[in-house]
Amino acid sequence: MSVSHHLDDATLLSHAAGTLPRTLALVVDAHLEMCPHCRAALKAANAIGGALLSDLSPAPVSSSLKDAVMGRIGSATIHRLPRAQAARQGGVPLALQRVLRLDSLDDIPWRKSAPGVHIHKLPKEAGEAGFFGLLKIAPGAAMPEHGHGGSELTLILQGAYHDELGHFGEGDIADHDESVDHTPVAEGEQPCICLVATQAPTRFRSWPARVMQKFIGI
Amino acid sequence: MDEQRLNHLMRQVAQNLDRAAFAELFDILAPRVKASLMKAGLDSATADDVLQDAMISVWTKAGLFDPARGGVFSWVFTIARNARIDRARRAKPLAPLDLMDWEPADEADTSEEQMVKASETEILRQALLTIAPEQKEIIELAFVQELTQAEIASRLGLPLGTVKSRMRLAYAHLKKFLEQKS
Ligand SMILES: [Zn+2]
């Protein structure tokens, strides 16, 4: 897998700061699993947080709190070794497994939404707007109009497409502000499966998200 | 801040479960983590709960800390951030993934990674002094006050696109600074 479309630096900084909405953060985590480039960039962003932390004037911490922590560490379980690297079984990143609860993309209970378009919604929490779920788009599915909207992340889990922003294949993330004007073309034989999170019910930019909007009316 | 000392203390905790070393680490780290939680708008009781969670994670996860991959402060920053998010989600647990938990130990350093070494904190502290004030403001609102991009935009009365572009500029500036100095 050779990832060529990465996270926007602003997305990366917000993720490091821990302020991305949960659904977007989960798509970012899934991309990070697949992308050493963005993992390295995230470390630099975390270091900015570390520098700001070290610069803060200390706030008083009660001695009883320190005593409580010193008491609790006696019985705390030590994390000895890093977990083995996530087995991305069946093409499902770890971050996604935790909400999908399936080991394989093959096991997803797709719901047909339109010719060539299947959808599987993921659970949202109270107060979360926008779309959060998986899309499966057959090669040759129709191309809806383009638009501008709020935050939107689309991670390609399987298959590929290309538009004027380039080739999007497995592991690539569409995280851009620009609208897309040209007709995108699905590549290869297999359907394109994407993980999509949007922040607001609005008009989307990436091809899979626009396909979704056209057919599902989100 | 003596990073060598911090690294030494971390090693003592990781290798020997050294309580005295941890107590010294606690005195350096906990008051700053507490300050960051208060600045992020947590009330004092919640801040204390998150602080306890964070400091216990420092103890239990010390063995996962690798000074070759970054400074103690950036590691503790991520520990405290995750503790805050975990606490907020307690009813519906979904902890953020911890890169250190699953990243392969032998993953080759990229050039970007190499710049994030033990002296990163000091380099970045200096770099933050050189950044344009309007970029610094946004970085602090994001990392210290923990506002979303949309919240920053409305707080400052700026279009979202401007907030994003200032974040990008700030990141590019800090990254360049790190590359030059390392
Ligand atoms: Zn990437």
Tell me how close the Cα of B10 comes to any Cα of chain A, in angstroms.
14
B 48-107: CB under 8 A from A:
48, 51-52, 55-56, 59-61, 63-64, 69-78, 80-82, 84-85, 89, 92, 94, 96-97, 99-105, 107
As for the ipTM of the complex, it is: 0.84
- Sorted by where each begins, the domain ranges of chain B are 3-91, 114-181
Chain A positions touching B164 (Cβ under 8 A) are 8, 10, 177
B 1-40: CB under 8 A from A:
1, 17, 19, 22-23, 26-27, 30-36, 38-39
Q: How far is the CA of B107 from the centre of ligand 1 (A)?
A: 15
pLDDT in tens, A84-101: 454 555 678 888 988 998
Between CA A132 and CA A122 the distance in angstroms is 6
Residue B105: per-residue pLDDT: 43
Stretch A167-189: mean pLDDT: 74
Stretch A10-26: mean pLDDT: 93
B152 near B115, Cβ under 8 Å? no
Instruction: Among A14, A50, A60, select the one facing B77 at the smallest CB separation.
Output: A50
Give the sign of the dihedral formed by CA A172, CA A176, CA A178, CA A180. Answer: positive
Task: Determine if the pTM surpasses 0.95.
Answer: no
- Locate the chain B residue with the closest alpha carbon to A88: B102
Place of tokens 């919640």: B46
Residue B59: per-residue pLDDT: 96
Q: How far is the CA of B8 from the centre of ligand 1 (A)?
A: 33
Stretch A112-119: mean pLDDT: 82
Q: Please name the residue ranges forming H helices in chain B.
A: 3-16, 19-39, 44-60, 72-88, 99-102, 111-114, 120-130, 133-143, 149-156, 160-181
* CATH (residue range A1-218): 2.60.120.10
* B3-91 and B114-181 agree in CATH topology: no
- Locate the chain A residue with the closest alpha carbon to B137: A52
Stretch A202-212: mean pLDDT: 67
Residue A182: per-residue pLDDT: 45
B151 near A20, Cβ under 8 Å? no
pLDDT in tens, A117-170: 889 999 988 888 788 999 888 887 655 544 445 678 889 999 988 777 788 999
Please provide residue B35's backbone torsions phi and psi, each rounded to the nearest 5 degrees.
-60, -40
Q: Does domain B3-91 bear CATH number 1.10.1740.10?
A: yes
CB pairs under 8 A between A and B: 237
Residue A129: per-residue pLDDT: 79
B 154-173: CB under 8 A from A:
160-161, 163-165, 167-168, 170-172
Burial status of residue B2 (CB atoms within 10 A of its CB: 0-12, 13-18, 19 or more): exposed
Instruction: Among A44, A48, A85, select the one facing B104 at the smallest CB separation.
Output: A85
* CATH (residue range B114-181): 1.10.10.10
Tens-of-pLDDT digits for all 182 residues of chain B? 688 899 999 999 999 999 999 999 999 999 999 999 999 999 999 999 999 999 999 999 999 898 888 899 999 999 999 999 888 775 444 445 555 444 544 444 444 444 445 478 888 999 999 999 999 999 999 999 999 998 999 999 999 889 999 999 999 999 988 887 65
Amino acid at A57: S
A 47-76: CB under 8 A from B:
47-62, 65-66, 68-70, 72-73, 76
Q: How far is the CA of A82 from the centre of ligand 1 (A)?
A: 22
Stretch A111-121: mean pLDDT: 85
Residue B69: per-residue pLDDT: 80
Tell me how close the Cα of A40 comes to any Cα of chain B, in angstroms.
5
A 23-42: CB under 8 A from B:
25-26, 29, 32-33, 36-37, 39-42
- Dihedral of the CA atoms A198, A140, A93, B98 (nearest 10)? -40
Residue A74: per-residue pLDDT: 87
pLDDT in tens, A27-83: 999 999 999 999 989 989 999 999 999 999 999 999 999 999 999 998 888 876 555
